[in-house]
Amino acid sequence: MSSKKNSGINIKSYEITDESLYLKRRDFIKAMGLGLALLPQNGKSNAEYYPDRTVLTHGQQISDEVPDWVKQKIYAAHPGIYSTSETPTPYEYVSTYNNFYEFGSGKDDPVANARNFRTDPWSIEIAGDAEITGIFSLEDIVAANDLEERIYRLRCVEAWSMVVPWIGFPLKKLLSRFKPLSRAKYVRFETLYDPSQMPGQRALFKSIDYPYVEGLRIDEAANDLVILAVGLYGKPLPGQNGAPLRLVVPWKYGFKSIKSIVKIEFTNKRPKTTWEVTNPKEYGFYANVNPNVDHPRWSQATERRLPSSLFRSNRIETQMFNGYADQVSYLYRGMDLRRFF
């Protein structure tokens, strides 16, 4: 099983994993009502593996403009029933090694270029085939939900991976509230388009077309594992990680977990998603983690679990559906996963 149920001890990862762990190279301590063992990474921090990498602590990552209600909701989050039993990737690495092309194509570009990203006020449009549609504030979307901490594997299509403690709420709660109609077969998501804040969107030679678009089938969106996240490691999301609202679909490659969402649309037509449009031979709509289906340019049988280095590759075997097969394999029963990749 890839998930463990809470044993009743209400201890959150950020309460037992202090920032000083990263700054002073302390060992992780053992805790967590989810049965999670937090273990030292061979006694070294990411700063030692990458001496030229900027190390940012929690406080340096959080903009002063984050509304108090967001902080209060996140601090009140409780451990969710789904969580991996693997060691979370240190916060400093989760927050500085990112793919977010709106802020640049390099892994270090997002953390550098999202420092002054404005996320308040923020609105989300709910559109399409649903009983309730309109434009809603972030507080309208989030505040009514109890937030959970879920520690999920994150597997990038580039064959590297992390383990991230997200804070959010199940997407199916949003579906329940806005009530998609029976003819709605898909959910389409859209990222903010704002070239004044996002230098990648105004670059002369763009890798992809904007705004960024992703999508799920309705039954995928309603799966218990899918969440809308507003925080990680017990803090509000930094800009480079998709503030203020992002999708997290742990059994799919990371590019499906769209960031900085401004529109959610219910539709009967399968959305044309960004990477599928950009290169359909390499990136399919489903993007399920599958070690048996290689990317045309590299194997997907293994992954590099971060942190890693030239001398410590930290290579592990990739699991089917990223280790969440027990919860999601029923969604694809009878499908040819090589054809529908």
Range of the domain at 50: 13-332
| Mean pLDDT on 269-273 | 98
- Residue 144 corresponds to which tokens in the numbers above? 């009514």
Percentage of the chain surpassing pLDDT 70? 81
Strand order in the sheet with 134-137: 134-137, 123-128, 261-267, 186-191, 213-217
Spatial separation of the C-alpha atoms in residues 167 and 201, rounded to whole Å: 28
| Tens-place pLDDT, residues 90-132 | 999 999 999 999 999 999 999 999 999 999 999 999 999 999 9
Task: Report if residue 115 sits inside a domain.
Answer: yes
Task: Report if residue 2 sits inside a domain.
Answer: no
| Tens-place pLDDT, residues 24-61 | 322 332 333 333 322 223 333 333 333 333 344 444 45
Into how many domains does the chain fold?
1
Q: Is the dihedral of CA 269, 275, 280, 285 positive or negative?
A: negative
Q: Which residues contact 93 (CB under 8 A, 6 or more apart)?
A: 46, 162, 306, 307
Task: Report if residue 156 sits inside a domain.
Answer: yes
Residue 324: the pLDDT is 98
Residue type (1 letter), 336:
D
Residue 33: the pLDDT is 35
Q: Is the dihedral of CA 223, 245, 300, 337 positive or negative?
A: positive
Spatial separation of the C-alpha atoms in residues 303 and 160, rounded to whole Å: 5
pTM equals 0.84
User: CATH code at 271?
Assistant: 3.90.420.10
Q: Alpha helices, DSSP H only, in 51-104?
A: 58-61, 68-75, 91-94
Please state, rounded to an integer, the average pLDDT across all residues of the chain: 85
